[in-house]
Amino acid sequence: ASALNRKETRGGHAREDYPNRDDTNYMRHTMAYKEGTKLLSDVRLDYKPVVQTRYEPMERKY
């Protein structure tokens, strides 16, 4: 659910329609909560900021 919600490519979640990483809008932890019996329509997403400590984010080359 969280990978489908992102409008970017990040790590193993590659999207052809959004090939670039977007740290401005998506540098955050995503939590998914199941709230009902339906497969995906009952998932609620919430977010927490990433706390930068020792290492700055950088582009990965695969």
Q: 28 with 48: CB under 8 angstroms?
A: yes
**Rg of the chain in Å (alpha carbons):** 14
Q: Where are the domains of the chain?
A: 2-49
Residue 58 has pLDDT above 90, yes or no: no
- Per-residue tokens: 28: 């955050």
pLDDT at 62 over 70: no
Provide the residue count of the chain.
62
Interval 5-23: pLDDT, tens: 889 998 888 899 999 999 8
State mean pLDDT over 28-57: 86
Residue 40: which pLDDT band, with cuts at 50, 70 and 90?
Answer: low
